[in-house]
Amino acid sequence: MTTLLLSHPASLDHLTPPGHPERPDRMRAVAQALSEDRFNALVRSEAPKGDLEVVSLCHDNHYIDELRHVAPSSGLVYLDGDTSMSPGTWEAVMRGVGGAIAATDAVMKGEHSNAFVATRPPGHHAEHNKPMGFCFFDQAAIAARYAQRTYGITRAAVVDFDVHHGNGTQDIFWADPTVMYCSTHQMPLFPGTGASQERGEHDTVVNAPLHDGDGSAKFRSAFDNLILPQLQKFAPELLIISAGFDAHRRDPLASLNLDAEDFGWVTRKLMDLADSTAGGRIVSVLEGGYDLQGLKESAAAHVSALMGASR
C-alpha cells in the first residue's frame, strides 16, 4: 500500500495581492520539499476538477452560483479584506475540491493507504454560505460528506491542527451527529471562534484552544488528553486532516512555536487512531502555512509520517 499525492499547476494561478501571505510560492515550497529522494515512493497524480454537485453537499447553491458569477476575467475581485479572486482562482478552487474527492475515492477503494492533497487556496474558513480567511469552499468538509454519501460511512471525523480555528468546518457540521470536528488552534486569533465550550448540538465538536507561545508540550497534551480520547470514543470510519502548518515557530501569522517534528508526531498519532477505527483510512488536505521554510519542513514531516504506513 502506498501514499497518494494529489496536486495541480492550477494552484499557482490563484493570484493574491502583493505581500499577501497566501501566495503561489507556497505550492512551490511544498513541491520542492516533496521532490527529495526520500519521497520517491509517493504515487503522484494531478488533481481532477471537482464538480458543483459535491460542493453543494456543504455549501449553499446560491452562494456557489454567486461565487462563480463574480470570478473575474481580469484583475482581482475582493470578497472581503483578506479574500480575493483572480482569473485563475475558480479552477484552482475546483482542483482543490476535485483533489479531495479523488483522494477520498482512492483511500475508500483501498487503492492507497492514505493521501495528501497539496493544493491552494485553503478551505477550512469557508462557511456554508460565506467565503472567509483566504477560503472559498471547504475541501475537508466536502470530502467527509462525499464519503458518507458515496461509501455509506456512518461516522467521519475532521481533525484540524491549523493555527487558526476552522470556523467553516465547525459551522458546516455544528448540528451533524455523524461528523466529529476536532481542532487545536491559537486563541485569541483570527477568526475568533473555537472556544472550548463550543461543542456542537450533539457534543461532536472538540475544541482545544492554545495560547500565545504554548509550544510543543501543550500542543501534544491537547491531543493526548482531549482530542484523541474523544476520537477513540467516536470511532470514525474515515479520518480527514485539515493540515495547516502555520503553528510552526517561523510562521508570521501566529505564535504557537511548534517545530516540524510536532506535525510528524501528531500525524503518527492520528494514523494509530485511524488504524484502530477506520482501517487506516486518512485523507489529508493542505490548509495554512505561510513561512516558506517552515512550510517545507512541516509538510515534509507530515508526508513522511503518512508514508510510514506503506513501509
Which of the residues 112, 125, 165, 302 is marked catalytic?
A: 125
Residue 40 has φ and ψ, to the nearest 5°, of -60, -25
Q: Provide the 3-class DSSP secondary structure of residue 190.
A: coil
What is the number of other CB atoms lying within 10 angstroms of the CB of residue 175?
10
Q: How far apart are CA 157 and CA 241, in angstroms?
A: 8
125 noted as active-site residue = yes
Cell of 179: 461528523
Kindly give the interhelix angle for 25-33 and 292-307, rounded to the nearest 10 degrees: 40
Sign of CA dihedral 150, 54, 173, 207: positive
Distances (CA, A) of 79 to 11, 85, 140, 310: 19, 8, 22, 42
Q: How far apart are CA 112 and CA 283, in angstroms?
A: 10
Question: Across the beta sheet with 205-210, what order do the strands follow?
Answer: 43-46, 3-7, 114-117, 282-286, 238-243, 156-160, 179-186, 205-210
Distance, in Å, from the CA atom of 178 to the CA atom of 12, rounded to the nearest integer, reads 35
Q: How far apart are the first and last CA of the chain?
A: 8
Report how far residue 230's alpha carbon sits from residue 194's, in angstroms, rounded to the nearest whole number: 16
**Residues labelled as active-site residues:** 125
